[in-house]
Chain A
Amino acid sequence: MATVAVEVVYRGVFQKSLAKEICRGIVFAARKEGRIGTAFGRYGDSPERNGIPAKQYAVVADGEEELEASLSQYEPAEVDVTIALDDTLCKGVESWAWYGLQPVNKLVKENGTLIVTSVQSPEDLVRSIHRNGVPYNLAILRGQPSFSGLWVYRDDHTDVRVLGALSKSCPQLFSLASVEETVKEQWRSDLKVASARRAYERLMTRLVEPGEGNPEEAYSYHLLPWQEMREGVVVPAVPKGNGFRGGDKGFEPARNPHFKKFATRSMRPVVNFDTCAKCSLCWLHCPDGCFDITPEGLYDANINACCGCGICEEVCPVKGAITMVNEALFTENGSQYELWKAQGKEGYQTWVGEKVTAQKGFGQWSHGYHHKGQYETELALASKEAQ
């Protein structure tokens, strides 16, 4: 065995501990087979922001010398397995700084595996994952993506289930027996050992051919050579926006054309323009200034700029005027106001209704804790599911 590299792509803060536990588990399980390993987070991702895509890695090798090459890199050049802990990351990984949008499978090597925790169908997932150029396996670990808060860890067995799945997808890394032993030692729970085994047994895998997937080219930045950069650490500011439109009624603020945010969210607001009371609270509270004011005085969330925090839904006084909906239910980032105008009231209401109904299938908000006792209730449910 040469080195085996595993990448864990996750939502910043909400899944940080989960990713760390998985990477440590990989190193411990590999040790059972006499191999050494290292676990590290991609440095530029930290300090993490809520929901921002982030990465951690585990690299395993037969000896110190093989491992050495991996120890001075932020991320490996290629990986045997990528694990996406939230399926909405299949749309791409856009972290802080000038990385651009990285396809979630960018580092997966030929015939490697992308493991996704999801309740979506493989076909739906393949549609949103960028084309890779080489064949790879898509493995689905069935279940709701596991989110927790900064200080709480949702012990819903996703950690050990991923390890069980890994031993199936990547037998050269370690066997199921090593995973079971590790889980027993590190987590001290027979129930978790059973969860790991069940994940191994039930993992669904499908080959993805090079031509399959999202044909779009993920956006990237052209970085200038030093001679062409402005001196004095000067970069162009955000250019002036469209400002007022349609007389003095609507207002469209300027936005940074370089840093889009659509990969940073797992949910987006759906605005019902027909019930909106035009109170402007969403516009006032949105931390990212996402709302464009239309000539009618409506508030249109700019989906390229929205980070999916859900504050607009929280503050909206009209029930159902804003609903946060799972990102998996969308394939584009167009303006909802334009859709409303194009489709008319009836068509738009049908569209909103579809999204809101489909969201119910996803249960809770995908991340964070919003009331006292929620963690305990969800934990009980999750443990039941795991059994």
Chain B
Amino acid sequence: MTTLPALGGIQVERDELISGSEAIARACVLADVDVITAYPIRPYDTVMQYVARLIANGELDCEFIVADSEHSQFEMVKHASAVGARVFVGSSGVGWFYAFEAITVTAGLRLPVVAMVGNRALDDPGAFGVEHNDALAVRDLGWLLTWVDTAQEALDTALIAWRVAEDPRVFLPCAISADGAFLTHSQQIVKVPGKKLVQQFIPPYNRGNLVLHPDNPITIAPQVNEDWLMEIRKQTDEAMRRAKGVLAEAYQEFGDIFGRRRDPFIEEYETDDAELVLVGMGTLAMPVKVAVRKLREQGQKVGFIRVKWFRPFPTQELQQSLSRFKAVGVVDRDFSMGSPSYGGVLFNEIRSALYPLPQRPAVVGFIAGLGGREIRVPDVSNMIDMTRKTVEEGRTDQQTHWIGVRE
């Protein structure tokens, strides 16, 4: 098949058949990213392959550095971001963990690095499939963290990520999580916007007087000890709080410019008259939506809520939404060994977000789809049944259930 003509200069929207990974690489072209660093690990490597191809085709003009390890890879973008370059980086599973020292300081130094995490189980034992524990590891550090569920959403969210991360009110790094295989490797038709519109949406990255430059003599990250550190943490905390509003603004304007309007933080599906809902993140949405439609045909009042931004956590949104239901089943594609109720990370966060409410729904936890195991429609029906039973049996069983484990 002949290659498509270069899109770099094309201003009109067009359709492309691309995977979630390719969509994010395409977003790099649209956002005119300056520096991209790479180190291969599956499934993230599909992004770097596509970036390399876009550069080879003359569609993307950037510094593309294939590093000697993930640690160097993330260090490089951190420094590039400090001197004012728009950057993109990414990894998966233990690759992401290998870069962790750099990842930690990136948030502390308020550098708006945008990263893609192709979710993958943490080896050993070796497994390429999706598990959310890799990306979730940044949840306490000051990284913005989101999950996308289609290639279109991957492209759109990447554009939003640069805009919000580089907003001077925020200046925080942002990780876009994409489920390995189901999103990173599936090709769908994606609407690729024209570059002019994107430029209208994402202003140039301007670090102002924080930029590392000879004309602006500064030192970044001196030793601070107990004299300064708590205040620095508080600044990051405030930036994360502000990010909430900046995200809402960005989604509003994204809709105005590109015509695709979405709720920024959560997606509600068939919830209007629902009595119970499942909650989850990422491509889990697909089998759940299919199951919800099937059960609704049988008269069951069930719905689904997809959490899109995990950091900042949509606390108010979920409080308002979930307090309408009798029971909530939270599906985690992650684990948190030894946590309260031996539940998943999302389960415990949601339960904690609901605690201040006078009227709390029952919350049941499910751990499913680890290591990329498929979550099938019957699994979803099963989880909905178990959630319902909890209410019928007097909410005694607000515990964690493993779904799809061989026993």
Binding site for B on A (CB under 8 A): 21, 23-25, 27-28, 31, 36, 38-41, 43-44, 46-47, 65, 68-69, 71-74, 159, 186-188, 223-227, 233
Binding site for A on B (CB under 8 A): 1-2, 17, 19, 42-43, 124-125, 128-129, 180-182, 185-189, 283-284, 286-287, 289-290, 293, 372, 374-377, 405-407
Query: When chains A and B are docked, how far (Å) is the Cα of A28 from the Cα of B18?
Result: 12
Q: Indicate whether A36 sits within 8 Å of B182 (C-beta atoms), given known contacts A68-B289, A72-B286, A187-B1.
A: no
B377, A69: Cβ atoms under 8 Å?
Answer: yes
A40, B290: Cβ atoms under 8 Å?
Answer: no
Chain A residues near B407: list those with CB within 8 A. 225-227
Q: Indicate whether A38 sits within 8 Å of B188 (C-beta atoms), given known contacts A21-B1, A72-B283, A74-B374.
A: yes
Query: When chains A and B are docked, how far (Å) is the Cα of A262 from the Cα of B289?
Result: 41
A69, B286: Cβ atoms under 8 Å?
Answer: yes
A65, B293: Cβ atoms under 8 Å?
Answer: yes
Query: When chains A and B are docked, how far (Å) is the Cα of A226 from the Cα of B370?
Result: 14
Chain B residues near A73: list those with CB within 8 A. 374, 376
Q: Indicate whether A43 sits within 8 Å of B180 (C-beta atoms), given known contacts A68-B290, A233-B124.
A: yes
Query: When chains A and B are docked, how far (Å) is the Cα of A364 from the Cα of B375?
Result: 45
B17, A27: Cβ atoms under 8 Å?
Answer: yes
Query: When chains A and B are docked, how far (Å) is the Cα of A69 from the Cα of B407?
Result: 26
Which residue of the partner chain, among A23, A36, A43, A46, contacts B189 with CB atoms under 8 Å? A36
Which residue of the partner chain, among B181, B376, B405, contacts A43 with CB atoms under 8 Å? B181
B375, A72: Cβ atoms under 8 Å?
Answer: yes
Which among A25, A71, A74, A225 has the greatest number of chain B C-beta atoms within 10 A?
A: A71
6 closest A-B pairs by CB: A43-B181, A40-B186, A72-B286, A39-B187, A233-B125, A69-B290
B286, A71: Cβ atoms under 8 Å?
Answer: yes
Chain A residues near B287: list those with CB within 8 A. 69, 72
CB distance from A223 to the nearest CB of B (A): 6
Chain A residues near B181: list those with CB within 8 A. 43, 74
A188, B182: Cβ atoms under 8 Å?
Answer: no
CB distance from B404 to the nearest CB of A (A): 11
Chain B residues near A188: list those with CB within 8 A. 2
Q: Indicate whether A44 sits within 8 Å of B124 (C-beta atoms), given known contacts A27-B17, A186-B1, A225-B407.
A: no
7 A-B interface contacts by CB (under 8 A): A27-B187, A43-B128, A69-B287, A71-B286, A72-B182, A73-B374, A73-B376
B289 to A, closest residue via Cβ = A68
10 further interface pairs, Cβ-Cβ under 8 Å (given A24-B187, A226-B405) = A38-B188, A40-B187, A41-B185, A43-B181, A43-B185, A65-B289, A68-B290, A71-B286, A73-B374, A187-B2
CB distance from A180 to the nearest CB of B (A): 15
CB distance from B231 to the nearest CB of A (A): 45
CB distance from A182 to the nearest CB of B (A): 10
Which among B17, B43, B180, B375 has the greatest number of chain A C-beta atoms within 10 A?
A: B17
Chain B residues near A21: list those with CB within 8 A. 1
Q: Indicate whether A72 sits within 8 Å of B185 (C-beta atoms), given known contacts A28-B17, A188-B2, A224-B406.
A: no
Query: When chains A and B are docked, how far (Å) is the Cα of A65 from the Cα of B377?
Result: 14
A38, B377: Cβ atoms under 8 Å?
Answer: no
A71, B17: Cβ atoms under 8 Å?
Answer: no
Chain A residues near B185: list those with CB within 8 A. 40-41, 43, 46
Query: When chains A and B are docked, how far (Å) is the Cα of A154 from the Cα of B23?
Result: 28
B284, A72: Cβ atoms under 8 Å?
Answer: yes
Query: When chains A and B are docked, how far (Å) is the Cα of A38 from the Cα of B372?
Result: 19
Query: When chains A and B are docked, how far (Å) is the Cα of A307 from the Cα of B202?
Result: 52
Query: When chains A and B are docked, how far (Å) is the Cα of A40 from the Cα of B125?
Result: 25
Query: When chains A and B are docked, how far (Å) is the Cα of A72 from the Cα of B372?
Result: 10
Query: When chains A and B are docked, how far (Å) is the Cα of A219 from the Cα of B42?
Result: 29
Chain A residues near B19: list those with CB within 8 A. 40
Query: When chains A and B are docked, how far (Å) is the Cα of A38 from the Cα of B283?
Result: 15
A70 to B, closest residue via Cβ = B286
CB distance from B6 to the nearest CB of A (A): 17
Query: When chains A and B are docked, how far (Å) is the Cα of A71 from the Cα of B178?
Result: 13
Query: When chains A and B are docked, how far (Å) is the Cα of A159 from the Cα of B187?
Result: 18
Chain A residues near B129: list those with CB within 8 A. 43
CB distance from A181 to the nearest CB of B (A): 14
Chain A residues near B188: list those with CB within 8 A. 36, 38, 71
Query: When chains A and B are docked, how far (Å) is the Cα of A67 from the Cα of B42?
Result: 25
Query: When chains A and B are docked, how far (Å) is the Cα of A72 from the Cα of B287?
Result: 7
B377 to A, closest residue via Cβ = A69
A71, B1: Cβ atoms under 8 Å?
Answer: no
Which residue of the partner chain, among A23, A72, A226, contacts B406 with CB atoms under 8 Å? A226
A225, B128: Cβ atoms under 8 Å?
Answer: no
Query: When chains A and B are docked, how far (Å) is the Cα of A24 from the Cα of B128?
Result: 24
Query: When chains A and B are docked, how far (Å) is the Cα of A17 from the Cα of B129?
Result: 23
Chain A residues near B283: list those with CB within 8 A. 71-72
B187, A186: Cβ atoms under 8 Å?
Answer: no
Query: When chains A and B are docked, how far (Å) is the Cα of A39 from the Cα of B377?
Result: 21
Query: When chains A and B are docked, how far (Å) is the Cα of A211 from the Cα of B188?
Result: 39
Query: When chains A and B are docked, how far (Å) is the Cα of A46 from the Cα of B42?
Result: 9
Query: When chains A and B are docked, how far (Å) is the Cα of A40 from the Cα of B283?
Result: 15
Which among B42, B185, B289, B377 has the greatest number of chain A C-beta atoms within 10 A?
A: B185
Which among B1, B42, B187, B375 has the greatest number of chain A C-beta atoms within 10 A?
A: B1
CB distance from A378 to the nearest CB of B (A): 20
Chain A residues near B182: list those with CB within 8 A. 71-72
Query: When chains A and B are docked, how far (Å) is the Cα of A31 from the Cα of B286?
Result: 21
Chain B residues near A44: list those with CB within 8 A. 128
Query: When chains A and B are docked, how far (Å) is the Cα of A25 from the Cα of B2?
Result: 12
Chain B residues near A25: list those with CB within 8 A. 1
Which residue of the partner chain, among B180, B377, B406, contacts A223 with CB atoms under 8 Å? B406
B284, A24: Cβ atoms under 8 Å?
Answer: no
Query: When chains A and B are docked, how far (Å) is the Cα of A23 from the Cα of B124?
Result: 33
Query: When chains A and B are docked, how far (Å) is the Cα of A39 from the Cα of B187?
Result: 5
CB distance from B23 to the nearest CB of A (A): 13
B150 to A, closest residue via Cβ = A71
Chain B residues near A227: list those with CB within 8 A. 407
Which among A23, A68, A227 has the greatest number of chain B C-beta atoms within 10 A?
A: A68
Chain A residues near B289: list those with CB within 8 A. 65, 68
B187, A43: Cβ atoms under 8 Å?
Answer: no
CB distance from A138 to the nearest CB of B (A): 28
CB distance from B207 to the nearest CB of A (A): 39
B188 to A, closest residue via Cβ = A38
B290 to A, closest residue via Cβ = A69
Query: When chains A and B are docked, how far (Å) is the Cα of A101 from the Cα of B43?
Result: 26
A72, B2: Cβ atoms under 8 Å?
Answer: no
Chain A residues near B125: list those with CB within 8 A. 233
A75 to B, closest residue via Cβ = B374
Query: When chains A and B are docked, how far (Å) is the Cα of A118 from the Cα of B49?
Result: 33
B1, A24: Cβ atoms under 8 Å?
Answer: yes
Query: When chains A and B are docked, how far (Å) is the Cα of A72 from the Cα of B181?
Result: 9
Which residue of the partner chain, among A38, A69, A187, contacts B187 with CB atoms under 8 Å? A38
Query: When chains A and B are docked, how far (Å) is the Cα of A225 from the Cα of B125?
Result: 17
B128 to A, closest residue via Cβ = A43
CB distance from B128 to the nearest CB of A (A): 6
